[in-house]
Structure 1
């Protein structure tokens, strides 16, 4: 630095040399200007590249996982990935359906998305939207349940209470059978296909949209079970097997007994015997809450009275759940013609091949019923 200043002064007088100072200042300015041009150009190029990259990223997808505002979306039952993408796009949750479909294609968990209502955010990345749909915490729980073993009138009463849609509306919706989309082999009765399960209530519930949920689940279940093909393999029509499953649903309390009871009834049918199912008699006389019947009730002339009429009743007596459907399709191996529970608390049931064996088992049930006042109530 000292040498630099010596070069800018006269060695004899020590005075500044204006011309030398000017040369040095001009050189410094030139270097500074060159550097400024270089930096400015670099910043300009960076800005253009950044804008191009940002534009590329946001052309198909939003980038802020926080989003803009809350939004509620409804994912219908059985929606495909494309259908979900279209719904999210319409609600401005995602920027393009293509972005969501691409993210979903790389995540096998997309199949776990449940139908129902979800609280999401608008303008979020497709990946964030998928994560939110897979998180149960974001699902709005507004559910109703259809319990196993209920006849249709009980189901409609329960639905009216839990959904605030009138029974009259449900009955009207059931009359429009073409709109229900039922399998072609379903009979005229409305019993049998309002599948028991727990469902998420639609955003704007109507009788039709509510009934669509259990009916869709019924169709999916019979398809999964290969119902028509397996019924044919048994030598029965699918509707007959559905009727059988409905009887099993009402007659059997324990999982391990369903296939055995199915075998008892199939054996009786094949031998031309009366089914003698108390559950069908209870249905015939409109008795709910129990399958126990009286001798007088078993004299009913209803075609559902299998103490009087041979063969299966003309229609289901309830909507069977999957386990009863499976039992009707896969009866156990055995020659049993009779069954009777001998302990109503445990459900213990005796299966017999002869009437003598059955009478002995029935005597055990009678002993159990007489063992206490509480037991007598359960046997009435």
Structure 2
């Protein structure tokens, strides 16, 4: 009898462990329910597997945190999980949860930076995004540029317009750093493939003109010709005479109506009163605008005017230009009558 009790005492823990193991093996592939069919769970940076399992359960997944923890630990995954936002849908299994945490299959947020935006508009979009950490919000421009490793002293035009994806809680400085690096990379690549004889001393000067072309273009196909007009003017020392630079110089007080006195009032950005390029870009140019400036169309055009449908009419001399202006002004008046 005593031997039987000893044998039972030895076997019973083994049976219990085996039963627990079989239960775990069965459980890890069972479909779980979630609150509302789909939940998003945030796993904080530095969280342990035990904390992550609790966050998943508290976030609305009907999983046993202890079972989830032990499955990850026994499988050697407990120290491999990654922080971030995770989405779990109805029917997900404990195994799939752990695999997702290990892969770092997080939900990415996004922010689109639009061609033609000014730095002020871009910064407003960053400040308004609910999923970014707003580290730059109270920084002045000089501090911000130093934080992202930029050597320039003016932020306008330095960021590449694109859609940027990031994890929730990412610093806005990280997005700015990526957009700045993207612009530097694209600009330098295109600069290396530029046409010969362009009136630029540096990629930054090309960036300035590209920002003007970006703001002047209503139809994408016109960019190379618009770029050629400005380059032709630069080559002979002719004033650029472009309204967007004047508007940029007026700043946030511009009311949408550009007056003659605005064109006559001198400022560093008034290309009606000052020769050459303005001191900085006036917006974020896209890649197509940069490409147009560095590889412009070959033309004899020095003027262009909007046709009213987004496209432009190009002219070789002032007489042609004045006729085009009268023609399209009359057309616009006819449409409005």
* TM-score, with length taken from structure 1: 0.59
Aligned partner of 1:122 in structure 2 is 98
1:311 aligns with 2:276: yes
Q: 2:122 aligns with which of 140, 145, 155?
A: 155
* Corresponding residue of 1:30: none
Aligned partner (choices 346, 349, 352) of residue 312 of structure 2: 349
SS at match of 2:112: strand
Alpha carbons of 1:360 and 1:200: their partners in 2 closer, same or farther (altered >3 Å)?
A: same
Q: What does residue range 298-377 of structure 1 map to in structure 2 within 5 Å?
A: 298-343=263-308, 346-373=309-336
Superposed displacement of residue 161, structure 1: 1.4
Q: 1:193 to 1:331 in 2, by over 3 A?
A: same
Where does residue 185 of structure 2 map in the other structure? 220
* Contact map agreement 2:157 2:207 (CA 8 A) in 1: yes
- Pick from 228, 247, 258 the counterpart of residue 282 of structure 1: 247
In the alignment, what sits opposite 2:58? none
Candidates 223, 226, 230, aligned match of 2:194: 230
Shift of 1:166: 5.5
Distance 1:270 1:173 in 2: 33
Using a 3 Å threshold, how does the CA distance of structure 1 residues 188 and 297 change in structure 2: closer, same or farther? Answer: same
In structure 1, stretches of 5+ residues that fail to align are 1-64, 75-88, 95-115
Q: 2:112 aligns with which of 131, 140, 145?
A: 145
* Secondary structure of 1:169's aligned partner: coil
Larger radius of gyration: 1
- Kept in 1, the 8 Å contact 2:160–2:286? The answer is yes
Contact 2:108 2:167 in 1 (8 A): no
The structure-2 alpha-carbon separation of the partners of 1:312 and 1:170, relative to structure 1 and needing over 3 Å to count, comes to farther
Structure of higher RCO (CA pairs closer than 8 Å, 6+ residues apart): 2
User: What secondary structure, in the 3-state scheme, does the structure 2 residue paired with 1:371 have?
Assistant: helix
Contact 2:304 2:315 in 1 (8 A): yes
Number of residue pairs matched? 260
Are the aligned partners of 1:335 and 1:353 in contact in 2 as well (CA < 8 Å)? yes
Following superposition, the deviation at residue 303 of structure 1 comes to: 0.7
C-alpha distance in 1 between matches for 2:149 and 2:136? 20
In structure 1, how many angstroms separate the alpha carbons of the residues matched to 2:255 and 2:161?
A: 18
Q: What is the CA–CA distance in structure 1 between the aligned matches of 2:153 and 2:192, rounded to whole Å?
A: 18
CA distance in structure 1 between the partners assigned to 2:144 and 2:252 by the alignment: 27
Which residue is equivalent to 1:56? none
Q: 1:210 aligns with which of 167, 175, 191?
A: 175
CA distance in 2, matches of 1:201, 1:332: 38
Matched with 1:294 is 259
SS where residue 296 of structure 1 aligns?
helix
Partner of 2:55: none
1:267 to 2:232 alignment: yes
Which whole-Å CA distance do the structure 1 matches of 2:44 and 2:133 have between them?
A: 22
Matches within 5 A, 1:12-91: none
1:167 Cα offset (Å): 9.2
TM (norm. structure 2) is 0.66
Matching of residues 170-185 of structure 1 within 5 Å: 171-172=139-140, 175-182=143-150
In structure 2, do the counterparts of structure 1 residues 195 and 174 end up closer, same or farther at CA, with 3 Å as the change threshold? farther
State the SS of the aligned residue for 1:215: helix
Query: Deviation digits for residues 87-141 of structure 1, max 9, x if unmatched?
Result: xx896259xxxxxxxxxxxxxxxxxxxxx976684358x9xx5xxx8xxxx5514
Question: In the aligned structure 2, how far is the partner of 1:291 from the partner of 1:326?
Answer: 29
